[in-house]
Amino acid sequence: MLTMSVQRYSAPSVRQLAAAVERVAPRDPATWDGREKAPGAGGIPVQVSEGRARQLWMVVGMYARAVGREEMPKRSSREVAQLFTPPAVRAFWGLAVAGELRHWEKDAGKPLPVATLRTVRDCLKILAAVAVPGRRVKLPVVEDAELKPTVDPRQLTAVYRELVDLAGEGPLELDGRAIRAQERARLLAMVSVVLDTGARVGELERMNVDDLAPGLGEVRVTRRPQHSDRGFEEVAYRLGVAQSTVSKVMAGETQRASHQLVHDIRREMEAFRAEGPRVERYALSEASRVAVGRWLDVRDGLVAGIEGGKSALWVTVLQSKAGPPGIRIRAQGLGQSYGRGVNVLNWLMAGRPGWEPLPVRMEQLRRAVDPVPLEDEEGAPVDTGCR
């Protein structure tokens, strides 16, 4: 007997695919504990998690939207095996990459991020194993590349702001993975500030509470161009070379670099170091003011019990080797906590309508935005009404 979750699909092939998924990821809570195992890492059979179950049903939905389109082979609607032929997989993947199979029609045409494509590919592997067992299916390759803006930075920024809003109302625990409410508040505030300022992790570390204007309408960022690591990073970005290449050339290891490249690297580093520290002011968006305000409420409780300076904007939420909760969190800790937090957040929110994975490296997030400091054409500060 077909369940409602299977009957909802019109194409026979998709109904058969849904029936296979029902065995390993049933939508009926009463049958969840008795679900069949599916191939996991290394081909070892395991029961899928709730997060993976949502992802599998997400891909079933993508197949339902793909079948019947002119890009898909006509036979793909007949039986499930036809969904995993090389022509069908190629066509499905092309539509998925282009964002044509998104759940919401308003989002159709927005290319899927690399992280989402990886999830879809992993699900295809599981779906093929449970729907056409024993059949060898050639899966698409996902390029292991860093996130690079393929659309206007303003569009990416808007997408990330929506994700911050979504995550603020999301769960704190799922399938044994969890994020503390304090950590989530800090993470979402940090993401918001990076979106508005493009601040690097070292610049975030140095931020103090008094860098925020009253009313949270602005934030100050102190840029320090003379910092070596940042110089290597910036020059590498300007010249389109690896950061390690810049650091090696500046350390005198020039044998593997062309004479012209050595000259360009040294010239750019000289120019970079000639720039002195500067303070820039940025407007905080309304969503950022909400996220930062929530973090400040949490932060006040964390610093209340510590002795000494309490000026740091970003502080620890747990006891650590460095000291008690409430002390300034260093750059390395900021980067690590961001990566851990985003990984958990992406897991908790996976499969929820409108969710796209956030970049797991802060630098990827920073490179995706192009914020403008609060200065007018004359270079004078802009009055935003914040005092």
Each domain of the chain, given as residue ranges in start order, spans: 12-131, 153-223+279-367, 229-276
Residue 60: both structure tokens together: 């079933």
> 17-44 burial, b for 16+ CB within 10 Å, e for fewer?
bbbbbbebbbbeeeeeeebeebbeeeee
CATH number of the 153-223+279-367 domain: 1.10.443.10
Does this model's pTM top 0.75? My answer is: no
Q: Tens digit of pLDDT per residue, the chain (387 long)? A: 456 566 788 999 999 999 999 999 999 889 999 999 998 766 678 898 888 899 999 999 999 999 999 999 999 999 999 999 999 999 999 999 988 998 888 778 888 887 788 889 989 999 999 999 988 898 887 764 444 444 455 656 666 777 777 777 777 776 677 888 899 999 999 999 999 999 988 899 999 999 999 999 999 998 865 455 567 777 776 777 887 888 888 878 777 778 888 888 888 888 777 766 778 999 999 989 999 999 999 999 999 988 877 899 999 998 887 788 999 998 888 888 888 888 888 888 877 777 778 888 888 888 878 788 886 433 433 433 333
